[in-house]
Amino acid sequence: MLAGAQTPTATQPDEPAFIGRAPFTDRLNPPAYEPMSPLPREQFDLGKAVFNTTWAAAGRSGAAASDGLGPLFVTNSCESCHNNGERGRAEPAPDKLSNSFVMQLGGPATVYNHVINNQAIDGHRPEGRIEISWRERAGRHADGSAWTLREPVYAVAQLQYGPLPPGTVLRPRIAPAVFGNGLLESVSQKTLQAVRDAQPAAVRGDLLARLGWQAEVANIADQSAHAFAREMGVTSLWEAQDDCTAEQSECRAAPNGGELEVSGEHFAAVVAYQTRLAVPARPARDAALDQKGAELFVATGCAACHQPHLPVSRLSGPARIDAYTDLLRHDMGEELADRTIEGQPVSSLWRTAPLWGLAHVLQDRQVALLHDGRARTVEEAILWHGGQAQSSRRAFNALKRSQREQLLAWIATL
């Protein structure tokens, strides 16, 4: 465990309070994590409305404030990927993509720009179709208990503007949760540097940005602008060009919903909504399980990267968040790496995923964990850990079955 790290229980008198969580009593109306005066509350509520807006094609009757979708896109609303601020959903069937899934592109520049837009408004054709198939992996824990994993294999078909150039990297992504991002964004560089310095050399991470699967996004505004422009084809002051390239003449010539399709007021409100959005409160827990699970979390090395708490500064004074992340990038091994269209693995550096809110996500639906949703359970997600996390995976494999069940049950309360 990192020096000074503790698993959040009751706050001691000399320790800052934990903030950031609130009960999600109405799953359709997620709350802010702190009270607000009337003007910020109005902006929060407006941001929630824009976040939930279904965008329409330019010129659609009655949609003047929310037109400009596409003409090429992946989804038509923020909510469709991040339902009530949560992470993306699992695929509806083994050969079907989740509607929270995006195929980003890396490597050399392509006519398709940043993402493969697999939908289009009337009169236009999608850029291509994403195909997914699965390979099964099987193994056993040290006590002989069997496990299976599913490995996704991706392909892009029916490309409308020619083949992807050699070396193009397929970057499959499921939508991450956005709740709590405002507090993650507020963690200081000094804090994260101290966390990094305290980590053993074998698991020491890289410090980059706060957000994104690979810590590649500086802040909520950038993340929102990228999603609007690249995945919905909706422009804003922050990103005034959609994902169409010069070679896509039909796309570039299509009508738009105005020079900036998201107004400055609406864009600021969406950012404010995400900044203040609470993380679901943890459920009631059995004290004995809570203690044992937390001890196993430390003993297996999970807490070295999934830092149990981080300090944040507030106008009202110091506070802490129990996000269970160090916000650093770690090498997670070749098995989790993105791959080129030729099948060659590339970067496997991933930001430590925050675990807070996991209990809420696990409540009542199939989950899609890790960067592309391949893991159907917390256990599967752990078993995919390699690289700098390989020692923790081995420690998990070496546990007795009863200990694994205790640890998994505890993680499911986060």
* DSSP output for 216-270: -B-SHHHHHHHIIIIIS----SS--S-S--TT-HHHHHS--S-SSSS-HHHHHHH
Dihedrals phi, psi of 21, to nearest 5 degrees = -110, 155
- Tokens 């049950």 correspond to 409
Contact predicate 172/341, CB 8 Å: no
Q: What is the distance between the alpha carbons of residues 138 and 75, in angstroms, rounded to a whole number?
A: 35
* Confidence bin at 10 (pLDDT 50/70/90): very low
**What Rg do the C-alpha atoms of the chain give, in angstroms?**
22
- What's the average model confidence in pLDDT over 11-38? 88
On average, the pLDDT of the chain sits at: 93
Among left, alpha and beta (phi > 0; psi -120 to 50; other), residue 158 is: left
Degrees to nearest 5, angle at CA 154 with 150 and 158 = 150
Report the pLDDT value the prediction gives residue 213, as an integer from 0 to 100: 97
pLDDT at position 1 over 80: no
Report the pLDDT value the prediction gives residue 85, as an integer from 0 to 100: 84
- Dihedral of the CA atoms 96, 97, 99, 104 (nearest 10)? -160
- Per-residue pLDDT of 220-261, as tens digits, reads 999 999 999 999 999 999 999 999 999 999 999 999 888 889
- Per-residue pLDDT of 132-189, as tens digits, reads 999 999 999 999 999 999 999 999 999 999 999 999 999 999 999 999 999 999 999 9
* Confidence bin at 364 (pLDDT 50/70/90): low
Percent of the chain topping pLDDT 90: 84
Q: Count Cα atoms within 13 angstroms, Cβ side, for 407.
A: 24
Report the pLDDT value the prediction gives residue 337, as an integer from 0 to 100: 97
Q: How many CB atoms lie within 10 A of CB 126?
A: 18
Report the pLDDT value the prediction gives residue 9, as an integer from 0 to 100: 47
- Per-residue pLDDT of 387-406, as tens digits, reads 999 999 999 999 999 999 99
Percent of the chain topping pLDDT 70: 96
DSSP β-ladder status, 279-280 and 21-22: parallel
